[in-house]
Amino acid sequence: MEVNKATKMVYRYLGNSGLKVSALSFGNWLNSDAEENYEVTRDSIKRCLELGINFYDTAEIYNRGSAESLMGRAFKELNVRREDIVVSTKLWRVGDGVNDMFLSRKHLVEGMNNSLKRLQLDYVDVVFCHRPDYDTPLEETCRAMSYLIDSGKSFYWGTSMWTADRITKAVEICERLNLHKPITEQPSYSMVRRDLVEKEYRRLFSEYKYGTTIWSPLAGGILTGKYNEGIIPEGSRYDKHKDFLKDTWNAHFSEDKKEKTIKMLQGLAEIAKELGYTQSQLSLAWCLANQDISTVILGFTRLEQVDENIKALELYEKWTDELENKVNEVLGNNPEADMDWRKWAPQAGRRTQALIHH
């Protein structure tokens, strides 16, 4: 772990590589759906740079490429020094043509070329397979991703929302064929979605030192405090995107879960208030306390949210065993509540290994 003394930003290695990424990062999925979001994208990137954030994530599927275009335009307008930023994009689908999607060599190579044009960059630092493709031979995908690195279009490659078994098979194929191995996964991870990272990926962390660039650390906004009463405020994200976010809402607020969710959220609000931070900042600091998390991807709809969220770093620096246990008691969803992994396998499931540094 490295800390920028001027900005207080924390940097971590991305998986088993020498690439350092800021512990908090910017993703522009939220700002990808309209030209009117350009100013928010540009101004957020400008402020992120000032705060020491160096990792910027996008994807070809975000509004069919417009997110990449907006991000590339912002970098150009801000005259960002290319060496100062770590840029990632994700390939999986961009159009309706039969080869405009999934993980064939054809789509990965053509998709990468088109992404670079939209980003106005010669290369990205990391390219992800945005979702698994069980129809394309995994060896073909591995060869294509390794080719993108050999051709100078990316420095590293990773996976997103893959199973641990699929990632392990990809690593084994790359080792057998002497190809560039994937180094990082981009999973959803938050206080209310823990199993994938803390349970399924344990072997990836212990054996491969696999990295993670997590998304939805606030569970689509559920953990911000706006929904602690179990209702959807008018004009909120869940009000504006009712159909798209319906499943996420029901996963927490269906009739059989609503009472438990409200109790949990209000318990988190109390802890945050006692500490002098917001519920969002508590939720983000909790993610940062897991040392298997390389970076926490944030999205912003308002510029002031950048500074609000960055304060999570302050709380992370104060994280203790006592606070960890207090939060876990409120959450009540520890994937292995009957085991303390730190006692016998410190490299597997390091929820509070951050405490070693304080």
Counting other chains too, the contacts that 99-103 makes at CB distance below 8 Å and 24 or more residues apart are 102/133, 102/135, 102/136, 103/129, 103/132, 103/133, 103/136, 103/140, 103/141, 103/144
Residue 249 in any domain: the answer is no
Angle at 215 (CA atoms; ends 264, 277), nearest 5 degrees: 45
Task: Please report which confidence band the pLDDT of residue 358 belongs to, taking 50, 70 and 90 as the band edges.
Answer: very low
Q: Check pLDDT > 80 for residue 307.
A: yes
Residue 261 in any domain: the answer is no
Q: Which residue has the higher pLDDT, 351 or 237?
A: 237
Report pLDDT for 235: 76
Report pLDDT for 247: 84
Total length of the chain = 358
Residue 270 in any domain: the answer is no
Residue 338 in any domain: the answer is no
Residue 335 in any domain: the answer is no
Q: Give 134's DSSP letter.
A: S
Average pLDDT over residues 339-352: 52
Report pLDDT for 61: 95
62 noted as active-site residue? yes
Q: Check pLDDT > 80 for residue 200.
A: yes
CA pair distance 136, 104, nearest whole angstrom: 6
- CB under 8 Å to 94, separation ≥6 — which residues? 60, 61, 64, 65, 100, 101, 111, 114
pLDDT digits (tens, 9 = 90+) for 268-302: 999 999 999 999 999 999 999 999 999 999 999 89
Q: Which residue has the higher pLDDT, 260 or 301?
A: 260
Edge to edge, what strands does the sheet with 2-3 contain?
A: 2-3, 10-13, 20-22
How many distinct structural domains can be found in the chain?
1
Q: Contact, 26 vs 298, CB < 8 A? A: yes
**How far is CA 290 from its chain centroid?**
13
Q: What is the mean pLDDT of the chain?
A: 92
Q: Which of 72, 7, 9 is nearest to 38 (CA)?
A: 72
pLDDT digits (tens, 9 = 90+) for 120-154: 999 999 999 999 999 999 999 999 999 999 999 99
CATH of the domain at 59: 3.20.20.100
Average pLDDT over residues 319-327: 96
Q: Which of 154, 152, 146 is nearest to 171 (CA)?
A: 146
Determine phi and psi for 190, rounding to 5 degrees.
-165, 180
- In the chain, the amino acid numbered 21 is V
Report pLDDT for 340: 54
Average pLDDT over residues 49-77: 96
Report pLDDT for 1: 76
- Cα atoms in the 13 Å half-sphere on the side-chain side of 2: 13
Q: Check pLDDT > 80 for residue 348.
A: no
Average pLDDT over residues 207-217: 97
Instruction: Please tell me the pTM assigned to this model.
Output: 0.93
Residue 183 in any domain: the answer is yes
Angle at 27 (CA atoms; ends 26, 31), nearest 5 degrees: 115
Per the structure, the complete domain to which residue 182 belongs is given by 2-221+287-316+343-357
CA pair distance 172, 266, nearest whole angstrom: 45
Residue 184 pairs in a beta bridge with 158, 211
Average pLDDT over residues 26-48: 89
Q: Which residue has the higher pLDDT, 234 or 194?
A: 194
pLDDT > 70: percent of the chain: 94
Report pLDDT for 354: 44
Residue 115 in any domain: the answer is yes
Q: Which residue has the higher pLDDT, 230 or 21?
A: 21
Instruction: Read off the tokens for 220.
Output: 């689509």
In sequence order, what E strands does the chain have?
A: 2-3, 10-13, 20-22, 24-27, 55-57, 86-91, 124-129, 154-159, 184-185, 211-214, 295-298
Task: Please report which confidence band the pLDDT of residue 344 belongs to, taking 50, 70 and 90 as the band edges.
Answer: very low
The 3-state DSSP class for residue 55 equals strand
Q: Contact, 271 vs 330, CB < 8 A? A: yes
Among 11, 62, 227, 316, the active-site one is 62
Average pLDDT over residues 72-83: 98
Q: Check pLDDT > 90 for residue 246.
A: no
Q: Contact, 339 vs 68, CB < 8 A? A: no
Q: Check pLDDT > 80 for residue 39.
A: yes
**How far is CA 211 from its chain centroid?**
11
CA pair distance 26, 298, nearest whole angstrom: 5
Owner of token pair 């790359």:
174
Residue 134 in any domain: the answer is yes
Task: Please report which confidence band the pLDDT of residue 26 belongs to, taking 50, 70 and 90 as the band edges.
Answer: very high
Q: Check pLDDT > 60 for residue 337.
A: no
Q: Check pLDDT > 90 for residue 352.
A: no
